[in-house]
Structures are given as structure tokens and as C-alpha cells.
């Protein structure tokens, strides 16, 4: 995968453009937010996340979908259980992933962040393929957007405490950070 700094789109990943984005107010990109998602909850490889981010989810297919029918959300990326990466929004645009949020006293994190969704739940371990893809994608982002330092990578729960819990206790922050450090040294 290769991130094109001029367009904000990655080459070598699945592209699934979402209508749920708008312009960044400042153009600044200095935060990476890690999330998790599965639709229906704890079911994987359904294609429903892609439909949800494109406002095409058939809410009659599952009772859970009725509760999210009116939401208009997106993320920049989704990493599925097999490590496949899908991009929904250019990194240069503002995806709608963080909601009401604050990082280091600065609110509206969507304005200056990139959001990566991992297909999963708070309490199920993520896969080796997901950690590998996440590490590779993170390095691409850091190489392009130098404001995303190791200290400016967080979970959704960090920027929306009490409201959000993802990526959850099953996400191995130590493993992820060690992989990033190893890549940086190479």
C-alpha cells in the first residue's frame, strides 16, 4: 500500500468512497484514532460496515441495524480480520468517526485526525493480519503527516471517555507500539 500525499488516497487498498465527509477546517492532520466495529456486532466479513459507511445498510436485515439507521458516519480506513484494508474517505478530508471528542484539550477531533476502524469488538483479540496491516498503514500515515507522532496515536475511548470504549481491552497497545518502533528502526 502506498499513500499518495497529493490526493490522500492509498494505492493498493480497496476503495469504497463514502458520502459522509466534509472539508477539514484547517487542513491539519496530526492525530490517529483507532476504533473497532463489526456489523452486526461480533459478526465479521459481512460487508455491512462498507454498506453502513455508504448509507446503503438495509436496516431490515438485523434488529441492531434499526438503532443505527439514522447515523451518518464514516472512517478513513477499515482493516478487516484478514488484514484487507478499505479506504472510505481521503485523508485530506474530514471523515465522521470521532463524534463528540477532545484530545489534549482540543475538541472536535474529526477536524485534525485520521480514523482507522479495526473489524472486531472490545473483547475479542484482533488478528495478526490486522496488526500487520495497521502497522504498515500507520507508517504510511506518519511518513506523510509528520504531526502524527507516537504520542498522537490513541483509541476512540481516549478522546471520548465515558462515551466510547473502543478499540477495547482486547487491543494490544504494547504489541502495536513495539511493531511501530521496530519499523521505525529499520
Q: Annotated active-site positions, please? A: 117
d(CA 101, CA 29): 16
Distances (CA, A) of 124 to 4, 98, 136, 172: 33, 22, 22, 11
Q: What share of the chain is helix, strand, coil (3-state, %, to 5)?
A: 25, 20, 50
d(CA 126, CA 33): 16
Cell readout for 66 is 434499526
Amino acid at each position: 500500500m502506498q499513500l499518495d500525499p497529493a490526493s490522500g488516497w492509498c494505492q493498493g487498498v480497496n476503495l469504497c468512497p463514502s458520502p459522509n465527509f466534509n472539508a477539514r477546517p484547517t487542513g491539519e492532520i496530526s492525530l490517529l484514532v483507532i476504533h473497532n466495529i463489526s456489523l452486526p456486532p461480533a459478526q465479521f466479513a459481512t460487508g455491512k460496515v462498507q454498506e453502513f459507511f455508504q448509507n446503503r445498510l438495509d436496516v431490515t436485515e438485523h434488529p441492531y441495524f434499526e438503532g443505527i439507521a439514522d447515523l451518518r458516519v464514516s472512517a478513513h480506513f477499515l482493516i478487516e480480520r484478514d488484514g484487507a484494508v478499505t479506504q472510505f474517505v481521503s485523508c485530506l478530508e474530514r471523515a465522521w468517526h470521532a463524534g463528540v471528542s477532545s484530545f489534549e484539550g482540543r475538541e472536535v477531533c474529526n477536524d485534525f485526525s485520521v480514523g482507522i476502524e479495526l473489524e472486531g469488538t472490545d473483547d475479542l483479540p484482533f488478528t495478526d493480519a490486522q496488526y500487520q496491516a495497521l502497522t504498515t498503514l500507520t507508517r504510511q500515515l506518519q511518513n506523510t503527516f509528520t504531526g502524527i507522532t507516537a504520542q498522537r496515536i490513541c483509541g476512540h475511548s481516549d478522546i471520548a471517555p465515558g462515551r466510547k470504549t473502543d478499540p477495547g481491552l482486547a487491543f494490544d497497545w504494547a504489541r502495536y507500539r513495539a511493531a511501530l518502533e521496530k519499523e521505525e528502526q529499520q
